[in-house]
Structure 1
Amino acid sequence: MGLGWIRRRTGHRAAKNQPGDLDMEALIPDHFLCPISLDLMKDPVTLSSGITYDRQSIDTWLEGGNFTCPVTNQVLRSFDQIPNHSLRKMIQEWCTENKRYGIERVPTPRVPVMPNEVSEILFSLAGSARNLDHQGCFECVRRIKNWAAESERNKRCILENGAASVLSAAFDSFAGDCGKKNAIVCEELLSALSWMLPAFDEESHKYLGSKASLHCMVWFLKETDDLSVKQNSLLALKQLLSCDDHTKHAEALAEIGGVNDILFKLIREKISPAITKASLMVVFYLISSSSSAGEKIKLSFLEMGLVSVLLEMLVDSERGVSERALAVIDSLCDCDEGREKAYADALTIPVLVKKILRISEMATEHSISAIWKLCKCASRQEERVLVEALQVGTFQKLLLVLQVRCGDDHTKEKTNELLKLLNPYRAGLECIESVDFKSIRRSF
């Protein structure tokens, strides 16, 4: 029998009991090793070629577009993977016998979900949704969530069989009365959908973007105290507003009374970093909409004082929040009203300049873009913004941006134009903060 080998150091307890075994080697039989990874197999499966592999390794091989057996190189007649229970039990027994070498017993793997099982559950879920059967819906959704929690392979199988659209349709069915008896089942459906959002198709967006679904998610943001439900609702709204049909969804969301107040409150109160980031992205997509509704929403947030709230937030916030806050400020500066609010706040220029080359390339791009809009559109009464920008070291920061080649072509164009705008005001006004240039070569 061929043997492989592996060296394991025992834990403190084993070292105390078996001090002489600390550097001893445990020899692994070759047929316990996966031919692909050369590691001890945890879930051995046999292909139609008769060769056994670890399930994770062969899954990666097949998903890479390979249609042959890695060992024999023959084309596989079937992609079925038959669990090799006998070999797995032998591996487990070997692990137990060699426990003193620090080798942990391989756990018994769960059987992966099959496409026909997923299809059956989704069929039952669709029926339960049509009949507004709470219990039936709960059982189906929880089974789907349990499968998804077991492995990434199960998640792929669930998605490939159309779970996103079925769950979205079910959410739409129950959402009509989410404020009363259907709230709990809607929460469960939204929780199951949360990890599927990036893979949503057009049909899923249609159901999740319905009037009833949008009202339900806004109701969750306003009424529920469960932070996970709020976060799932925000992530779903963000997904809708970032899709190809975002204008329609933005207009529908804008028609819901109080949605702007709710989003503003979530940003201002900083309940959690995840909720703050998701809220900022929803606001960004809403105010970036080219529709008339987008302009009304933008004015509404400006009247609430969103610019000042974001600037105060930027003084001390982590990278993800800062990037999103700067993106919102940049978008608000597109209109006259937004620039007026920015001119009126003493923190605007110092904070925006401070963030250049401090957080990330994206943050630098948004900071420069916002400063460029403020300086380029400044009237004679607002020319002080150019002087203020020079006083806090903007000119030197912009030169460094060009030197380290930070940003895309649009950012470089804005940087060059800003330098030209600032140059006439430079005499005797420049201020250099040396700490801003410390470790400038670091990558983002």
Structure 2
Amino acid sequence: MIWTWRLRRGGGRRRTGKNHQLDLKVTIPPHFRCPISLDLMKDPVTLSTGITYDRENIEAWMEAGNYTCPVTNQALRSIEQIPNHSIRKMIQDWCVQNRSHGIERIPTPRVPVTGIEVMEILSEIMDATRHEDQSKCKDLVMKLKVKGEESDRNKKCIKANGAVRTLAAVFNAFAAVSFQKYEVLLEEILSTLMLMFPLDGEAGLTLGSPDSLRCMVWFLKNGDLSTRRNAVLAIKDIISMDKEHVVEAFARIEGAKEALMKIIQEPICPTSTKASLMVIYYMVSSSLTSTDNIRSDFAEMDLVSLLLEILVDSEKSLCEKALGVLDAICCSEEGRQKAYSHALTIPVIVKKILRVSDIATEFSVSIVWKLCKNEKRDDGGVLVEALQVGAFQKLLLLLQVGCGERTKEKATELLKLLNLNRDRCECIDSMDFKDIKRPF
């Protein structure tokens, strides 16, 4: 079989007298192709059996648990992969010779990092940490970061040799001394750690210490956009491992709640906004004795208004997180009062029922249920408003299409409350279900 690249000269079209397109066939020499993928090799390496493969393909073969040569089926005496510079140079020369056909020269691959190199760098980092040598430590961390950014293979190797635990320990050590004095170094460590998320348990516990958390809160308030983003992503990752312990420590840090609010008020990117909402959700939905106070604090900061603004026009993932936070906030009296006072609360939340996802519907029903059940006004203002925006129809449809048991109980109770107030207003059909026959 002849393996070829079909290429089009001059951007892809060459007209003949009959307006036919001329296809050119460029044959790839067989010894330039990887025996595994049959594609042109970009980083040829030779095994102990003497067979040359593309590095990416043979590494995937070995990672799958295969320790034989795919071509000869011989057991590998060594898993060392020796770069085949001769073949690589020949492939590059061939690419240059055929560049008129649109073939690009493959770049010279970088030599991948080894486990020994990683451990040597980490050892030097720890030594620099013991001497509080910020400059040397920063240079070594940057060296590690550069190698990790070169390829996924390097990133895996760095992580597999304990870099995450070491960097977390170094971050905590310098943060404990002075995160303002060592700000540049700590920012570099945090940026390097971002390459290796999610963190493992030991690293998470280390970064969950009061000193490290205080440093990250300081970054949230004073760092540049990149540092603030990295800090909130790190906090989210740390809290997700040990919610109760870390939430309690984080909530006690002065300015932590305000820093999270700043991320939402002044968005950096969707990822950081979602991370901030997740951290707030962990804080307002925990079982700590201080949770009610945390909910009240966020309500006083006008988080409810921010959440409703997000819900007006947001994609699925962001919408789910905002609804989850609002549902937890509405467990407090202060949160409900803020929701009652906002004109968009009921229209926006009812609109989200059956519009986003199952989890969004559950949160939406729960919010409406909490607001209606705990309303203290005699005129039933929230119930009447819910009727006017089509809550009755949506809840009936929700029971027909099915939902979780807890959501079903709340929807049923809401329907009973709404039914008592149907004679007090003229219900407006929901635009989402305008063609559905009304059941009354």
Give the TM-score normalised by the residue count of structure 1: 0.87
Does the aligned pair in 1 maintain the 2:148–2:195 contact within 8 Å? Answer: no
Deviates more, 1:383-392 or 1:187-196: 383-392
Residue 418 of structure 1 deviates from its aligned partner by: 4.2
Q: In the TM superposition, what whole-angstrom CA distance separates every residue of 1:68-99 from its partner, at most 9, and x where no partner exists?
A: 33333444333222222222112111111111
Q: In structure 2, how many angstroms separate the alpha carbons of the residues matched to 1:105 and 1:367?
A: 55
Percent of residue pairs identical? 54
Distance 1:189 1:378, change over 3 A: same
Distance 1:367 1:61, change over 3 A: farther
Q: In structure 2, how many angstroms separate the alpha carbons of the residues matched to 1:74 and 1:421?
A: 75
- For the pair 1:59 / 2:56, whether they are aligned, the reply is no
What residue is the counterpart of 2:180 in the other structure?
180
Does the aligned pair in 1 maintain the 2:229–2:268 contact within 8 Å? Answer: no
2:303 aligned to 286, 306, 310, which one? 306
What residue is the counterpart of 1:118 in the other structure?
118
What residue is the counterpart of 1:442 in the other structure?
none
- For the pair 1:242 / 2:240, whether they are aligned, the reply is yes
What residue is the counterpart of 1:210 in the other structure?
209
Q: In structure 2, how many angstroms separate the alpha carbons of the residues matched to 1:382 and 1:233?
A: 47
Does the aligned pair in 1 maintain the 2:113–2:147 contact within 8 Å? Answer: yes
Residue 207 of structure 1 deviates from its aligned partner by: 2.0
Q: In structure 1, how many angstroms separate the alpha carbons of the residues matched to 2:39 and 2:54?
A: 9
SS in 2 for 1:286: helix
Residue 206 of structure 1 deviates from its aligned partner by: 2.5
Deviates more, 1:78-87 or 1:230-239: 78-87
Does the aligned pair in 1 maintain the 2:155–2:195 contact within 8 Å? Answer: no
Q: In structure 1, how many angstroms separate the alpha carbons of the residues matched to 2:371 and 2:175?
A: 43
Residue 194 of structure 1 deviates from its aligned partner by: 1.5
- For the pair 1:323 / 2:320, whether they are aligned, the reply is yes
SS in 2 for 1:176: helix
What residue is the counterpart of 1:230 in the other structure?
228
Distance 1:388 1:211, change over 3 A: same
Residue 384 of structure 1 deviates from its aligned partner by: 3.3
User: Which amino acid in the other structure matches residue 393 of structure 2?
Assistant: Q
Residue 130 of structure 1 deviates from its aligned partner by: 1.7
Q: In structure 1, how many angstroms separate the alpha carbons of the residues matched to 2:67 and 2:417?
A: 61
What residue is the counterpart of 1:432 in the other structure?
429
Q: In structure 2, how many angstroms separate the alpha carbons of the residues matched to 1:66 and 1:379?
A: 69
Does the aligned pair in 1 maintain the 2:346–2:386 contact within 8 Å? Answer: yes
- For the pair 1:145 / 2:145, whether they are aligned, the reply is yes
Residue 361 of structure 1 deviates from its aligned partner by: 4.2
Q: In structure 2, how many angstroms separate the alpha carbons of the residues matched to 1:417 and 1:375?
A: 10
What residue is the counterpart of 1:88 in the other structure?
88
Deviates more, 1:407-416 or 1:230-239: 407-416
What residue is the counterpart of 1:221 in the other structure?
220
User: Which amino acid in the other structure matches residue 91 of structure 1?
Assistant: I
SS in 2 for 1:292: coil
Residue 143 of structure 1 deviates from its aligned partner by: 0.8
Residue 404 of structure 1 deviates from its aligned partner by: 6.0
SS in 2 for 1:430: coil
Does the aligned pair in 1 maintain the 2:308–2:348 contact within 8 Å? Answer: yes
SS in 1 for 2:290: helix
RMSD: 2.9
User: Which amino acid in the other structure matches residue 217 of structure 1?
Assistant: M
Distance 1:14 1:409, change over 3 A: same
Distance 1:29 1:362, change over 3 A: farther
Number of residue-to-residue matches in the alignment: 431
Does the aligned pair in 2 maintain the 1:378–1:385 contact within 8 Å? Answer: yes
Does the aligned pair in 1 maintain the 2:7–2:101 contact within 8 Å? Answer: yes
Residue 6 of structure 1 deviates from its aligned partner by: 1.5
Gaps of 5+ in 2: 435-440
SS in 2 for 1:45: strand
2:341 aligned to 341, 344, 352, which one? 344
Q: In structure 1, how many angstroms separate the alpha carbons of the residues matched to 2:85 and 2:51?
A: 14
What residue is the counterpart of 1:190 in the other structure?
190
Deviates more, 1:418-427 or 1:187-196: 418-427
- For the pair 1:156 / 2:190, whether they are aligned, the reply is no
SS in 2 for 1:342: helix
Q: In the TM superposition, what whole-angstrom CA distance separates every residue of 1:313-364 from its partner, at most 9, and x where no partner exists?
A: 3223444432321121011123343233323322111111222344444433
Q: In structure 1, how many angstroms separate the alpha carbons of the residues matched to 2:399 and 2:152?
A: 43
Distance 1:325 1:20, change over 3 A: same
- For the pair 1:43 / 2:43, whether they are aligned, the reply is yes
Q: In structure 1, how many angstroms separate the alpha carbons of the residues matched to 2:288 and 2:107?
A: 56
Q: In the TM superposition, what whole-angstrom CA distance separates every residue of 1:41-82 from its partner, at most 9, and x where no partner exists?
A: 111222334332222122222223333333334443332222
Q: In structure 2, how many angstroms separate the alpha carbons of the residues matched to 1:316 and 1:77?
A: 60
Deviates more, 1:340-349 or 1:4-13: 4-13
What residue is the counterpart of 1:441 in the other structure?
none
What residue is the counterpart of 2:108 in the other structure?
108
- For the pair 1:372 / 2:369, whether they are aligned, the reply is yes
